[in-house]
Structure 1
Amino acid sequence: MENTEAYQKAKKKVRARLGFKVHLAVYIAVNAILISINLINSPDYLWAIWPLMGWGIAIFWHAMNLYVLNKESGVTENMIRKEMDRQLLKKE
């Protein structure tokens, strides 16, 4: 593995982790607001649980893909290589 390839791979992982952290922070902030609105306006029915659960499932899968499965898609890698080849051909 070339040094530049290792750097690019590490950069991709760091960006993915930062993306997840931003996703999680937005999830927490938005759902805190929704729960507050829910408790102020209609405390008898907790409707805020539905977006909390739905989005929570998406957060769960995002975390699973990032930290547990941690598999790079062969299809994605092939697409990246093809695009890099196209860019190199354009430069020539």
Structure 2
Amino acid sequence: MEQGTPPPSPPEEEALRLQAESRVKQKIALVSHLGVYLAINLFLVVVWSLTGAGYPWFLWVMAGWGLAVAIQTFSYFTGSKGEAARERMIRKEMNRIKKEKGS
């Protein structure tokens, strides 16, 4: 904690804990998903190589599933930024509605 910053109040502490728990849960899910992706695709490459190494069909699986892993990774790394952007948009829309009702 920085000097001069008061300790968070219990509700703030609870909100921080919930946010941290959510991020940890997302991180565990991402690492788990990545591990399964790598293991299964390694298995598919081995099957492909043992069955004659013809057309590299496993690349289709890697590409499709890799896209899902990439989206999850992007979501993880932009999660808090996305929430902040969402909050800004909500506040902006609320201000527009207030102005419309005021006029």
Q: Residue 36 in 1 paired to residue 46 in 2?
A: yes
1:72 aligns with 2:83: yes
Query: 2:54 is matched by which residue type in structure 1?
Result: D
Displaced runs of 4+ in structure 1, greater than 6 A?
Answer: none
Which of these residues, 9, 32, 41, is aligned with residue 22 of structure 1?
32
Q: Does the 8 A contact of 2:48 with 2:54 survive in 1?
A: no
Q: Name the CA distance, whole Å, in 2 between partners of 1:11 and 1:39.
A: 42
**Distance (whole Å) between structure 2 residues aligned to residue 53 and residue 21 of structure 1:** 18
CA distance in 2, matches of 1:23, 1:44: 28
**In the TM superposition, what is the alpha-carbon distance from 1:41 to its structure 2 partner?**
0.7
Rounded to whole Å, the distance in 2 between the matches of 1:34 and 1:72 is: 37
1:59 aligns with 2:69: yes
Alignment gaps of 5+ in structure 2: 1-10, 87-103
Q: TM-score, normalised by structure 2?
A: 0.65
Q: Is the 8 A contact 1:35 1:48 kept in 2?
A: yes
Q: Which runs of 5+ in 1 are unaligned?
A: 75-92
**How far apart, CA to CA, are the structure 1 residues paired with 2:35 and 2:53?**
25
Matched-pair identity in % = 25
State the distance in 2 between where 1:72 and 1:36 align: 41
Aligned residues: 73
The 8 Å contact of residues 41 and 58 in structure 2, kept in 1 or not, is answered as: yes
